[in-house]
Copies of this chain bind each other. A is one copy, B any other.
Amino acid sequence: MYKENNLSKNQQIIFDLINKSSEPLKAYTILFNVQKKGIKAPPQVYRALDKLVKTGKIHKIESKNAFVACRSSSCEISKATAFSICESCEMVDEISDAKLTKYLSSFSDKKGTKYKRFNLEFFGLCKKCK
Pick from B109, B110, B114, B124: contact of A117, CB under 8 Å: B124
> Does A95 belong to the interface (CB within 8 Å)?
yes
Could you say how many copies of this chain the assembly holds?
Answer: 2
Judge if A126 is at the interface, Cβ distance under 8 Å.
Answer: yes
Which chain B residues border A63 with CB–CB below 8 Å? 62, 119
How far is B97's CA from A124's CA once the two chains are assembled, in angstroms? 22
Tell me which of B97, B118, B122, B127 contacts A115 (CB under 8 A).
B122
Binding site for B on A (CB under 8 A): 62-63, 84, 93, 95, 97, 100, 103-104, 107, 109-111, 113-124, 126-127
A-B contact pairs, 23 of them (CB 8 A): A62-B62, A62-B121, A84-B109, A97-B109, A97-B110, A100-B107, A103-B103, A104-B122, A109-B122, A113-B126, A114-B124, A115-B122, A115-B123, A115-B124, A116-B123, A116-B124, A117-B122, A117-B123, A117-B124, A118-B122, A118-B123, A119-B123, A120-B120
